[in-house]
Structure 1
Amino acid sequence: MNFIKYFILNGLILFVVSCGGEKDPSSLFSLQFASGEKEFQQFDTIRPIIENRKDLPIDSIRYTIAGEEIPFRNDQLVLQGSKLGLQTIKVHFRSEGNPIVVERDIKILAPAAPQLYTYEIINEYPHDIKAFTQGLEFYQDTLYESTGSGGGAKSFIRKLDFKTGDIYQQVDLDTKYFGEGITLLHDKVYQLTWQSKLGFLYRVSDLKQIDRFQYGQSKEGWGLCNDGSRIYKSDGTERIWLLNPETLVEEDNIQIVTNKSIFNKANELEYVDGKIYANVWQKESMMIIDAGSGAIEGVVNLGGLKEKVKQHAKLDVLNGIAYHPGRKTFFMTGKNWDTLFEIQLKKKE
């Protein structure tokens, strides 16, 4: 047994000596790119260079981003299928039988500029002018709305007749909570609060609160939507978090990017056919985001809607997106708006 320990110890000493006395063999290597750039677009082909200070042997090379292996052929990498945003690219290899990992941060942007859209108003419906709208979503033809609070008023969640504005049922939150986005899945309503790092679960049938959950790495509670199996959560940063609907654990995230920059203003969310539609905070516009990659594929100019509602002292920004799958239209409103607009999106020529 002592002989085995002696052999292993001497082997380690020899490797350290051969590396010039370095404690960490990976410090003898660095990852560079032939172009000298650190910013790329999805599907770019790039040529990595492993700088080798001691000219040590290298074999079994492979590259990964977020645990996903990247195709490496003819000394080139193709950034296909890679997550977008600020990512860490890692090169894994062996040198003199020892596993080495060297990493470098890069920025991966969307492959194309967003398509521009405008809108056409189909219908206008009454909306509670006192509702500081934060979340809006249809579930089986019933409109659900969540609001924030201010000036001592309570946040609430409620069911509505979207055509008349009549309230079917409403549940108020404790005044210490500022209500935020909602989504509905498997006969449950999920609701966020803003800065309390706490969310609530309600039974759809009677809005009885049945559970609550804590946030993970996400900073705040902004918007929610779902694709039928996962929940997407915005938090005011460049990330949209993917939650397990059963455990509410933040299992993954995507970063919101254009072909030029990383974006951080996604607010209220709605999921439709693989895309996340997101209000842009403090702007009269909406992003169309690929739910898989985070690329902003479209931008909708919603200017003019705010001018069509009653103008008053407490009138606030556009916020609230609900898609009606049967009508194939979007419903939009804002904080303290007296109107709910039904619109269709149109590509701008």
Structure 2
Amino acid sequence: MRRVLLGLVAAMAAVTTSAGACAAAAPPAAPGPADAPRPVVVGEEPHDPAAFTQGLELSPDDPGTLYEGTGLAGRSQLRELEAATGAVRRAVPLPGDLFGEGITVVGPSIWQLTWQDGVALEWDRATFTLRRQVPLAGEGWGLCAEPGRLVRSDGTDRLRFHDPATFAETGSVAVTLDGAPVPQLNELECVDGAVWANVWRTDRLVRIDPATGAVTAVVDASGLLDPARRADTDVLNGIAHLSGDEYLLTGKLWPAAFRVRLPVPPPG
């Protein structure tokens, strides 16, 4: 495990930051460490290749329903999808030219981040109507929900915690991998006390202990799309927990979503 983590630190050190991080197309990611586990693909579902995916989450009370947040100024949406087919059941645009980012479900609400617009949006899950906009300090990238709090990434090496009712920031933790910072954390998924994150401009997923910020597992998710289908797409960016060790992975402008198992040991 230590060799895997050290290899990832070295690879991440070559990734440069960019003011247009969430908007710009990224070059193909380099392969991960040779001994990092890879997802085991158990199925494939269609995905809208026009969707600039920023957040993906399974409905907590209906395994046949997915929620998806998409980005790009003037094109951002909140969507409800049929999980088995990827078909869009309903979609609502974000107000004005807001650039949508990560989403998460909290009871009857869906919270959605914006990238650099300084607001977070609360939607009514049943009606897809906008309840309110609240101030957001800094950038919004990924979002997920733990019991009693939300977890946000902002493109840095920090996870930030928010009150699920008011969205007030309540704290943060620096994310480290073998003692080195892990920058450009993107889409998030909270699962059983851990936080999975895409690392932007790579095909890697990291599992984070939100209490300490330590990375406890690394997955190399390169190669899900073959080269022909990967052309004209953008980065891996969409993690939805299905059940057990099974997840749904997709990316920005990807024509498919993959049901996979992540073969990593449970958090210690």
Residue 250 (1) aligns with residue 169 (2): yes
Give SS of 1:248's match.
coil
SS in 1 for 2:198: strand
Aligned to 2:257: 340
- Paired residue for 2:87? 166
Partner of residue 57, structure 2: 137
8 Å CA contact 2:160–2:173 kept in 1: the answer is yes
Q: Deviations over 1:306-328 (max 9, x none)?
A: 32672443x11110100013x65
> Structure 1 CA distance, aligned partners of 2:130 and 2:136?
18
For 1:310, what is the secondary structure of its paired residue? helix
Q: 2:226 corresponds to which residue?
A: 307
Q: Distance in 1 between matches of 2:43 and 2:101?
A: 26
Give 2:131's aligned residue.
210
Question: CA 1:309–1:328 in 2, change beyond 3 Å: closer, same or farther?
Answer: farther
How far did 1:119 drift?
1.2
User: One-letter code of the match for 1:240?
Assistant: L
- In the alignment, which residue of structure 2 is the partner of 1:272? 191
Query: Residue 70 of structure 2 aligns with which residue?
Result: 147
After superposition, what is the alpha-carbon deviation per residue over 1:74-96, rounded to whole angstroms, capped at 9, x for unaligned? xxxxxxxxxxxxxxxxxxxxxxx
Alignment match, 2:122:
201
Please say if residues 217 and 264 of structure 2, whose CA atoms lie closer than 8 Å, have aligned partners that are also in contact: no
Which residue pairs with 2:242 in the alignment? 324
Paired residue secondary structure (1:306): coil
| Cα distance between partner residues in 1 of 2:201 and 2:106 | 28
Instruction: Measure, in 2, the Cα distance between the counterparts of 1:278 and 1:253.
Output: 15
Report the CA distance between 1:190 and its aligned residue.
0.1
Q: Which structure would you say has the larger RCO, counting Cα contacts within 8 Å and 6 or more residues apart?
A: 2
Residue 15 of structure 2 is matched in structure 1 by: none
Does 2:101 match 1:180? yes
Letter in 2 for 1:162: A
Cα shift at 1:175: 4.3
Give the aligned partner of residue 8 of structure 2: none
Determine if contact 1:309/1:339 at 8 Å carries over to the other structure: no
Question: Structure 1 vs Structure 2: percent identity of aligned residues?
Answer: 36
Aligned-residue offset at 1:228: 2.5
Q: 1:118·1:347 contact (CA, 8 Å) conserved in 2?
A: no
Deviation at 1:117, TM superposition (A): 2.7
Deviations 1:24-70 (A, max 9, x none): xxxxxxxxxxxxxxxxxxxxxxxxxxxxxxxxxxxxxxxxxxxxxxx
2:140 paired residue number: 221
1:121/1:309 CA distance change after superposition, 3 Å: farther
Q: For 1:321 and 1:161, locate their aligned partners in 2 and report how far apart those are by CA, in whole Å.
A: 16
Write out aligned runs for 1:102-117 (5 A).
116-117=36-37
State the match for 2:207 in structure 1: 288
Larger Rg: 1
Q: What corresponds to 1:230 in structure 2?
A: 149
One-letter amino acid matched to 1:316: D
Unaligned runs of 5+ in 1: 1-114
Q: Equivalents in 2 of 1:312, 1:119: separation in Å?
A: 21
CA distance in 2, matches of 1:288, 1:117: 13
How is 1:66-77 mapped onto 2 (pairs within 5 angstroms)? none
Could you state the TM-score of these two structures normalised by the residue count of structure 1? Answer: 0.63
Gaps of 5+ in 2: 1-34
Q: CA RMSD in A?
A: 1.7
Q: Which runs of 4+ in 1 moved over 4 A?
A: none
CA separation of 1:312/1:174 partners in 2, compared to 1, >3 Å: closer, same or farther?
farther
Q: Between Structure 1 and Structure 2, how many residues are aligned?
A: 228
8 Å CA contact 1:283–1:317 kept in 2: the answer is: yes
